[in-house]
């Protein structure tokens, strides 16, 4: 590694043992990274490994706690984001970050202003800014959004937003591109087009790519860097990285799911029929029907933006249904508010854990506790880690601990149905194992769990049955064991 | 469009004279201040509770200049604008460190500081006695023309600015600052200029107000005056220069009308109207007249 | 606007027109008023209906009502019509209200005005419009000195008229050592100055002066400072709530036991006394009137007022009562004809009558009232604490 | 402590409800008037101390239920609404209690003087200080209690709170009612120290703003710190440079905000 750390004149980017802390959490720990001019570098690693933070620090939107950053021989440590951008650095955001009130075209046009030197033009009409409109439309065309030019950004589907993100970045005529999961949530033709677009990007542009789709990352990148828990785990050519056993375990998981017994099902607890809902105009879920029986663990698989979280939120009552029915133990809750659903036995472990600001772990647990088999003692027995954390503010806990709180919090509702939204997100492999154990023990205790996951291994390890969501529809429904036995079919139906 | 507007507005002096004309000028000058605040609160997303500072600075500038150099409105307007803008330029770096409710508070704090200064600096401001200003050598019609002229010019320039790239960037910064900065747009400086310009324009309104009443007083600097301006803008609906104008017109006329029916329940009625409007409209009066686009309404 | 989206042009016209119409909508009223106004006497009354001076506004209005009713709403043979406007606490509001009354309602004359700034603010307006203004309350010296106007008569008082005699009297009868506290606004400082000049001229020595801001919710810091100085006498002028709060804490901190009060009358008027009870007991004050003043005119005034409004009149009621009378007396002299301005000025200036406060007349030069000022003491009576007249300090004429 | 009792409610409701209640000063004044009336009619100051907050809370509950709730999440419109309410309530109060200056008499039991370090202190002032301390402790305790946890949960993430079975709407109404009740209580307590009259509400609103801005918006502890600092600066100012007392306070305000926009104990966001 030492050879890498020494700055090279050909470097477009030199990150020198950069550390970034948020309160107690260390997101980046002495990360060093050198990217040559024109190089394509893929940054991979599990959620929460610090990939996005790395981008934030490079692009100047976050100040590093320690370490140095050079872009094109220019020290940019602590430089405000706009100046970094003016050095020719463009980025896309993991969570699409657009000007929602503006039209798609306006979004890209805003992107062209800096490069076009129009940013301070206070006289001529923006709408009639011919050159930037031209560039803008071209950028849109390249990502295949030409026909959406006049739609308001807020109206775009998840996938389209991702494309627009990319278009905006391209409109900046960047010398260096930071792409944060540009393919996340894209499928079929969209995915094809964007993928091709990325591969066809001019070679003189230096590109850093964060991507979960390993196969894509591999044939895109010249070199790959693996981040885990904020540290560089490995770096090298795709082949080298792929071969690296450590990477194998950490990132790709074991790949082998334990074969599990089908155990006797109780009567149907949750019956969802023809559910449809969405945000604004956009319809996210269409005609979704699923069923969960007592004592069963059902997993919902699907890539980002395919509607998994939306489904759970809709079930919990966070967003109104367009149509469809939700029966819990025979009573239709479709029209009831979240409070009623919570009180009639639904509990949710939300995506991102959503710890409550200013509450201690104890308070979080006590907050919704209802009498029943689950009490604080039993919850702490399940997650001993929480015992010593009891007095800490939940938001200062590590991701894994927060996940435990979120689960315990929900369990103490003594719910008839426990819904978990991406519990593995941002957890280190070790923690995912703990989580797996926890969920299994819940299943063996006869709890009913509806689990939305991206982590196939985890899902297959704990689930009895699996539904696969593809762009808001259920495209497959099989016993977990069957899928585990036939991973290739699974990966196909997941579009990986 | 400009023509139509001009014609109607220009007709006002013939349609009105005496008190109604006086009121028309009043509307125009409050509209000016409201438009400025709308630029700040609406487009830049910087809701200020300190506009009274700029307004008052303008008013006292008018008073002091008139006292020393005679009531020359061109001069007082120039000085008033400059004084208010400079104040804004000095305060902005500190004020812009905060956003949202905190920005509201710090602007309030600065305004109060100005108020306290004016209150103490009797030799300059006449303290609580206020400051009598010699009448400017303008007929009511001419004065109205000045107010209207300034308003129209301001509207023109702002409308142009807001349609220009710089204006769109300002609006973009309000919507999503991190993204804007990632695009290489220096968010701070856009807000800075919005703050300074809005300050200057409010200063102009203050000057006109002072000449209109031939008087400048601490009340011009009082925080309740800031609240009033904010009420006017919210009344008209954020992010619509026309809304701001409408808000000013409605509010001023409302006050005049109410005070002609009662001298006891003015505040009550004004309050009632406020509550009604807030409850009935999503984005102020303007949205009744012109329902905003679905997206805009979403936010 | 050059090219804002064109679809909405028509709407915009509609709105702009709407504004114009709205403004024009004011016309009918004003014309209507003028039409029927041929020979009624229109009096614009500008008094606070909101803000700290509201009660003064109410009392003055009552006083006026009382007198106008006495003369059956007729002055110089003309029917009296009152048009009330809220003075509020913002002088520039007073200006716009005055403008409305003069330009829109076409009033024949104006009266009222509680706050001195309001008076200063509308001075030029009434002078250029040649509309007589009878000031009922505002007491800032300058209004009948440097800023005097041929069209403004002050039927109330000046700061100097109370402060100066009090200064002399305190020096001669209470102590040569005094501590001073006065509200930090123009009138407060004028009062303090007037007192100080006379007091020092009479050989008194001022230990220290305090000027708390208007509307302070708490005076303990000031009181602590006064207590530390242990003065025999405290001069004070704090208006409204400030006065009440101060007197309260003055007693709560036990100063009332060893510090005597020499204050401007308004600070310990009946309305305050009823709130602070014995906190003001023994306070000496100067004012042009006292509820218990034993003159036939005053006895009658108090009785009529009680009969009409079912409560004691305040000094403000009296000021309203006299202001109204000034107008009526002057109009009677003119037989209601206000066309000739010189006659009008002459008529108002020469108004003379026996007021409940004593002989009432104007200083021909300054148009300020010349009146008795009484030295009163707050004493405990059967009906609670009241101001008893200790002595009449004689006719006081503001030096101008 | 007067300042604290004035500001705490305002800070509280902003902290947990994100509502900048510009009618707070008016509610405070209302409390003072109710206290005044009860104290004079029922001849019991203590009864007044109970009646005022109850009346305030009731009114607060109504306002939240009938008006504020419809504007949930529209901070600015809520501000505008509270301004409107302040205007209306101000005139209503004047219509009921008139414009004459009113002032409650302290209960006989508290009108004595207590010597502290040689200085004679009115018992009532000490009483107020004590009450302030108690209220502070009580509020802090309440916030720490399971009930308080629910309140904080609602302000932090209503959705999750609901999913955990917390009745968000009720909690919101209750908190608002409580903050208004607190304002009214502060007013009633202040009765014997202050004098009531038109315009008093604005003065008080301004002081409340200064205090919370200095201390930190949304933090009750901040309100306490702010109140103490403001009181000290005010007192120090009046003693050292009486000319610049007011000036000092606002200068303080500006300085604090310039370096800690969220106020001394405030949290960002």
pLDDT tens string D68-89: 988 887 887 888 899 899 999 9
pLDDT for the residue B13: 66
The reply to whether D199 touches chain C by the CB within 8 Å rule is yes
Residues C254 and C383 in one domain: yes
* CB proximity list for B298: less than 8 A, separation 6 or greater: A154, A280
Contacts of D210 (CB under 8 A, 6+ apart): B109, B112, D226, D230, D249, D250, D253
Q: Is residue C355 part of a domain?
A: yes
The per-type count for chain C, helices as H runs and strands as E runs, is: 13, 15
Closest chain B residue to C94, measured at CA: B213
Residue in the structure block whose two tokens are 């329902």: B291
Strand C284-287 relative to strand A40-44, pairing: unpaired
Q: How many CB atoms lie within 10 A of CB A330?
A: 9
Q: At what angle do helices D2-17 and D220-240 cross, to 10 degrees?
A: 140
Instruction: Write out chain D residues lying below 8 Å of C213, CB-based.
Output: 245-246
β-partners of residue A332 are A327
Sole residue written with tokens 């011009």: B220
Question: Is the Cβ pair A82, B161 closer than 8 Å?
Answer: no
Do residues D52 and D34 lie in contact, with contact meaning Cβ atoms separated by under 8 Å? yes
CB contact under 8 A, B120 and D243: yes
State whether C195 and C234 are in the same domain: yes
- C272 and C392, same structural domain? yes
ipTM of the predicted assembly exceeds 0.90: no
**What residues form DSSP beta bridges with C370?**
C361
Average pLDDT over residues D236-243: 74
Asked if pLDDT for residue D269 goes beyond 50, the answer is no
Per-residue confidence (pLDDT) for residue C17, from 0 to 100: 41
Half-sphere exposure of C49 (CA within 13 A, CB side): 21
The distance of D57 to chain B (nearest Cα, Å) reads 20
Q: pLDDT-derived band of residue C6, with 50, 70 and 90 as boundaries?
A: very low
CA–CA distance, D100 with C241 (Å, rounded to integer): 9
Model pLDDT for residues D172-185, shown as the tens digit of each residue: 999 999 999 999 99
For residue B164, give how far its alpha carbon lies from the nearest alpha carbon of chain A (Å): 4
- D200 contact residues in C (CB cutoff 8 A): 215, 241
Pairwise CB contact (< 8 Å): B132 & C49: no
* Residue C24 pLDDT > 60: no
CATH number at residue C313: 3.40.50.2300
How many structural domains are present in chain C? 2
pLDDT tens figures, B223-251: 889 989 988 998 888 888 988 998 999 89
- Report the percentage of chain B scoring pLDDT > 90: 56
pLDDT at res. D121: 78
State the pLDDT at residue D83.
87
Q: Where do we find the tokens 């009632």?
A: B272
Residues C382 and C236 in one domain: yes
Which partners does chain B have (≥3 C-beta pairs < 8 Å)?
A, C, D
Chain-centroid distance of CA D56 in Å reads 11
**CA atoms of A456 and A461, how far apart (whole Å):** 8
Do C195 and C224 sit in the same domain of this protein?
A: yes
CA angle C39, B258, B275 (to 5 degrees): 170
Residues C237 and C384 in one domain: yes
**Is the pLDDT score of C142 beyond 90?**
yes
Residue D178's pLDDT is 95
CA A158, CA C349: separation in Å to the nearest integer? 84
What pLDDT score was predicted for residue C22? 43
d(CA B223, CA B210): 17
DSSP assignment of chain D, as one string? -HHHHHHHHHHHHHHHH----TTHHHHHHHHHHHHHHHHHHT--HHHHHHHHHHHHHHHHHHHHHHTGGGGTT-HHHHHHHHHHHHHHHHHHHHHHH-SS-B-PPPPGGG-SEEEETTEEEEHHHHHHHHHHHHHHHHHHHHHHSHHHHHHHHHHH-HHHHHHTT--HHHHHHHHHHHHHHHHHHHHHHHTTTS-B-TTHHHHHHHHHHHHHHHH-TT-HHHHHHHHHHHHHHHHHHHHH-GGGHHHHHHHHHHHHHHH-TT-SS----
Same-domain pairing of C297 and C172: no
pLDDT digits (tens, 9 = 90+) for C355-392: 999 999 999 999 999 999 999 999 999 888 999 999 99
Give yes or no: residues C166 and C237 share one domain. Answer: yes
pLDDT of residue A280: 66
Neighbors of chain C by Cβ distance (3+ pairs < 8 Å)? B, D
DSSP C368: B
Q: For the sheet containing C109-112, what is the strand order?
A: C74-75, C78-86, C41-47, C109-112, C133-135, C152-154
Average pLDDT for C222-233: 91
Q: Let me know if residue C4 belongs to a domain.
A: no
State the Cα–Cα distance between residues A3 and A179, nearest whole angstrom.
Answer: 26
Nearest to C289 by CA among C373, C348, C207, C233: C373
C9 touches chain B (CB under 8 A): yes
Tell me, yes or no, whether C150 and C167 share the same domain: no
- Looking at residue A484, its pLDDT comes to 82
Which of B88-92, B206-210, C297-301, D142-146 shows the lowest per-residue confidence on average (mean pLDDT)? D142-146
Q: Binning pLDDT at 50, 70 and 90, where does residue B2 land?
A: low
Q: Return the DSSP state at A383.
A: -
Q: What is the pLDDT of residue A357?
A: 85
Give me the residues of D, 78-137, that contact B with CB < 8 A: 79-81, 83-92
Please give the helix or strand (H or E) that residue C377 lies within, else none.
strand C369-381
Per-residue pLDDT tens over the stretch B157-215 = 999 999 999 999 999 999 999 999 999 999 999 999 999 999 999 999 999 999 999 99
pTM of the predicted protein model = 0.86
**What is the token pair recorded at A308?**
């998994």
Q: Helix B223-236 crosses helix B100-120 at what angle (to 10 degrees)?
A: 140
Tell me, yes or no, whether C185 and C122 share the same domain: no
Tell me C143's DSSP state: G
Cβ A110–B187 below 8 Å, yes or no?
A: no
Same domain, C48 and C130: yes
Q: Which residues of chain C neighbour B26 with C-beta distances below 8 Å?
A: 96
Paired with A467 in beta bridges are A300, A477
Domain that includes residue C64, residue range = 41-157+293-367
**Among partner residues B23, B128, B264, which is closest to C185 by beta-carbon distance?**
B128
* B255 to chain D, closest Cα gap in Å: 13
pLDDT at D106: 79
Q: Is residue B80 pLDDT above 70, yes or no?
A: yes
Is the CB of residue C32 less than 8 Å away from at least one CB of chain B? Answer: no
Mean pLDDT by groups of 10 residues along chain A of 496 residues: 49 92 81 94 82 92 92 91 94 86 93 90 88 90 89 82 90 93 74 86 92 83 90 90 76 49 71 87 84 92 79 92 92 92 94 87 91 90 87 82 90 94 77 85 89 86 90 86 80 64
């Amino acid at each position: 590694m030492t050879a890498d750390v020494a700055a090279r004149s050909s470097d477009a980017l030199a990150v020198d043992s950069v550390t970034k802390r948020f309160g107690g959490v260390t997101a980046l720990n002495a990360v060093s990274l050198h990217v040559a001019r024109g190089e394509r570098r893929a940054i991979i690693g599990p959620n929460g490994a610090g990939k996005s933070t790395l981008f934030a620090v490079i692009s100047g939107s976050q100040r590093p706690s320690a370490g140095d950053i050079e872009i094109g021989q220019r020290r940019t440590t602590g430089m405000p984001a706009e100046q970094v951008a003016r050095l020719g650095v463009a980025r896309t955001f993991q969570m699409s970050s657009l000007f929602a009130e503006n039209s798609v075209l306006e979004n890209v046009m805003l992107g062209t202003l800096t490069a076009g030197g129009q940013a301070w033009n206070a006289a001529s009409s923006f709408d009639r800014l011919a050159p930037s409109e031209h560039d803008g439309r071209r950028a849109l065309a390249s990502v295949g959004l030409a026909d959406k030019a006049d739609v308001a950004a807020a109206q775009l589907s998840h996938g389209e937003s991702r494309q627009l993100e990319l278009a905006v970045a391209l409109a900046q005529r960047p010398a260096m591109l930071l792409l944060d999961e540009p393919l996340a949530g894209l499928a079929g033709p969209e995915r094809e087009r964007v993928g091709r677009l990325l591969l066809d990007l001019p070679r003189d542009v230096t590109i850093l790519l964060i991507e979960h789709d390993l196969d894509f990352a591999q044939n895109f990148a010249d070199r790959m860097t693996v981040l885990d828990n904020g540290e560089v785990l490995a770096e090298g050519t795709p082949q080298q990285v792929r071969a690296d056993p450590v990477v194998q375990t950490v990132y790709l998981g074991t790949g082998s799911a334990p074969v599990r017994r089908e155990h006797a099902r109780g009567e149907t607890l949750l019956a969802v029929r023809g559910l449809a809902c969405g945000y604004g105009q956009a319809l996210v879920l269409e005609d979704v029907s699923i069923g969960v029986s007592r004592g069963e663990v059902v997993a919902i698989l699907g890539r980002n933006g395919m509607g998994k979280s939306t489904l759970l939120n809709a079930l919990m009552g966070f967003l109104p249904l367009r149509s469809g029915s939700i029966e819990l133990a025979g009573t239709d809750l479709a029209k009831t508010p979240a409070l009623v659903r919570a009180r009639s036995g639904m509990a949710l472990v939300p995506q991102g854990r959503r710890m409550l600001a200013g509450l201690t772990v104890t308070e979080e647990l006590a907050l919704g506790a209802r009498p029943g088999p689950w009490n604080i003692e039993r919850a702490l027995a399940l997650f001993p880690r929480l015992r010593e954390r009891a007095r800490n503010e939940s938001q200062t806990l590590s991701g894994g601990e927060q996940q435990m709180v979120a689960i315990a919090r929900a369990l103490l509702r003594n719910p008839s149905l426990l819904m978990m939204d991406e519990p593995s997100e941002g957890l280190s492999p070790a923690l995912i194992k703990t989580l797996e154990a926890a969920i299994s023990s819940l299943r063996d205790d006869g709890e009913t769990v509806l689990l939305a996951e991206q982590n196939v291994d985890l899902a297959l390890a704990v689930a009895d049955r699996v539904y696969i969501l593809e762009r808001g529809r259920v495209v497959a429904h099989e016993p977990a064991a069957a899928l585990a036995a036939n991973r290739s079919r699974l990966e196909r139906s997941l579009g990986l | 469009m400009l023509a139509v507007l001009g014609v109607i507005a220009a007709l006002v002096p013939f349609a009105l004279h005496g008190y109604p004309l006086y009121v028309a000028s009043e509307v125009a000058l409050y509209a000016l201040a409201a438009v400025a605040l709308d630029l700040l609160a609406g487009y830049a997303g910087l809701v200020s509770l300190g506009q009274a500072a700029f307004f008052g600075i303008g008013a006292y500038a008018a008073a002091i200049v008139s006292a020393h150099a005679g009531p020359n409105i061109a001069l007082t307007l120039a000085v008033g604008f400059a004084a208010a803008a400079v104040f804004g330029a000095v305060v902005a770096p500190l004020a812009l460190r905060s956003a949202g409710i905190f920005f509201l508070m710090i602007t309030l704090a600065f305004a109060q500081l100005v108020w306290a200064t004016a209150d103490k600096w009797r030799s300059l401001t006449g303290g609580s006695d206020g400051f009598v200003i010699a009448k400017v050598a303008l007929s009511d019609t001419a004065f109205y023309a000045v107010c209207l002229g300034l308003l129209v010019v301001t509207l023109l320039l702002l409308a142009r600015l807001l349609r220009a790239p710089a204006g769109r960037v300002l609006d973009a910064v309000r919507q999503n600052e991190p993204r804007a900065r990632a695009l290489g747009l220096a968010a701070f400086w856009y807000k800075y200029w919005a703050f300074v310009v809005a300050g200057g324009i409010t200063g102009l309104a203050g000057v006109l107000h002072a000449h209109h009443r031939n008087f400048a007083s601490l009340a011009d600097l009082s925080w309740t005056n800031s609240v009033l301006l904010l009420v006017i803008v919210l009344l008209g609906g954020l992010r619509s220069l026309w809304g701001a104008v409408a808000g000013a017109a409605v509010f001023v006329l409302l006050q005049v009308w109410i005070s002609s029916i009662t001298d006891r329940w003015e505040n009550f009625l004004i309050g009632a109207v406020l509550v009604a409007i807030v409850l009935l409209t999503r984005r102020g009066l303007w949205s009744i007249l012109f329902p905003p686009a679905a997206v805009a309404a979403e936010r | 606007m050059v090219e804002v989206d064109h679809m909405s042009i028509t709407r915009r016209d509609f709105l702009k027109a709407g504004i114009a119409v709205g403004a024009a909508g004011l016309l009918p009223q004003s014309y209507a008023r003028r039409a029927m106004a041929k020979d009624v006497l229109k009096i614009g009354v500008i008094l606070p209906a909101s803000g700290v001076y509201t009660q003064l506004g109410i009392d003055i209005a009552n006083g006026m009502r009382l007198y106008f009713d006495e003369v059956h709403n007729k002055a110089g043979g003309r029917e009296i019509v009152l048009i009330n406007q809220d003075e509020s606490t913002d002088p520039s509001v007073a200006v716009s209200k005055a403008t409305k009354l003069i330009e829109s309602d076409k009033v024949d004359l104006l009266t009222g005005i509680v706050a001195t700034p309001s008076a200063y603010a509308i001075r030029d307006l009434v002078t250029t419009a040649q509309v007589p203004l009878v000031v009922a309350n505002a007491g800032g010296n300058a209004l009948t000195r440097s800023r005097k106007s041929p069209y403004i008569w002050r039927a109330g008082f000046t700061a100097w008229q109370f402060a100066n005699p009090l200064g002399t009297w305190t020096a001669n009868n209470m102590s040569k050592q005094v501590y001073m506290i006065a509200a930090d606004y123009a009138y407060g400082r004028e009062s303090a100055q007037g007192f100080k000049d006379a007091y020092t001229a009479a050989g008194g020595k001022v230990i220290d002066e305090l000027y708390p801001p208007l509307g302070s919710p708490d005076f303990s810091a000031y009181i602590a400072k006064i207590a530390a100085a242990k003065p025999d006498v405290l001069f004070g002028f704090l208006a409204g709530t400030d006065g009440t709060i101060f007197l309260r804490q003055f007693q709560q901190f036990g100063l009332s036991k060893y510090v005597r009060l020499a204050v401007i009358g308004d600070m310990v008027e009946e309305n305050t006394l009823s709130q602070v009870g014995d906190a003001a007991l023994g306070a000496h004050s100067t004012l042009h009137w006292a509820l218990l003043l034993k003159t036939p005119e005053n006895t009658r005034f108090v009785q009529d007022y009680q009969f009409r409004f079912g409560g004691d009149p305040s000094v403000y009621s009296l000021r309203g009562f006299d202001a109204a009378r000034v107008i009526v007396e002057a109009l009677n002299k003119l037989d209601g004809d206000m066309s000739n301005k010189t006659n009008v000025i002459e008529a108002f200036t020469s108004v003379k009558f026996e007021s409940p406060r004593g002989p009432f007349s104007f200083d021909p030069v300054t148009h300020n009232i010349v009146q008795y000022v009484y030295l009163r003491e707050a004493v405990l009576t059967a009906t609670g604490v009241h101001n008893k007249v200790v002595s009449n300090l004689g006719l006081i004429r503001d030096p101008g | 402590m007067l300042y604290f009792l004035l500001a705490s409610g305002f800070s509280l409701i902003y902290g947990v409800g994100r509502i900048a209640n510009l009618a707070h000063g008016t509610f405070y004044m209302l409390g003072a008037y109710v206290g005044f009336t009860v104290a004079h009619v029922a001849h019991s100051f203590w009864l007044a101390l109970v009646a005022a907050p109850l009346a305030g809370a009731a009114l607060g509950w109504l306002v939240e239920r009938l008006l504020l709730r419809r504007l949930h999440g529209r901070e600015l419109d809520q501000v505008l609404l509270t301004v409107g309410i302040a205007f209306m309530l101000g005139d209503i109060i004047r219509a009921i209690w008139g414009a004459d200056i009113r002032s409650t008499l302290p209960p006989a039991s508290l009108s004595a003087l207590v010597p502290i370090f040689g200085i004679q202190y009115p018992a009532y002032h000490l009483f107020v200080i004590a009450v302030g301390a108690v209220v502070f402790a009580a509020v802090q305790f309440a916030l720490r209690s399971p009930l308080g946890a629910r309140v904080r949960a609602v302000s932090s993430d209503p959705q999750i709170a609901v999913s955990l079975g917390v009745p968000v709407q009720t909690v919101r109404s209750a908190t608002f009612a409580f903050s208004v009740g607190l304002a009214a209580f502060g007013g009633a307590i202040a009765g014997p120290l202050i004098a009531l009259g038109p315009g008093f509400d604005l003065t008080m609103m301004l002081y409340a703003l200064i205090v919370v801005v200095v201390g930190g918006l949304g933090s009750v502890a901040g309100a306490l710190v702010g109140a103490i600092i403001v009181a000290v600066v005010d007192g120090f100012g009046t003693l050292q440079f009486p000319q610049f007392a007011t000036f000092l306070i606002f200068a303080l305000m500006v300085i604090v905000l310039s370096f800690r926009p969220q106020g001394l104990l405030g949290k960002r966001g």
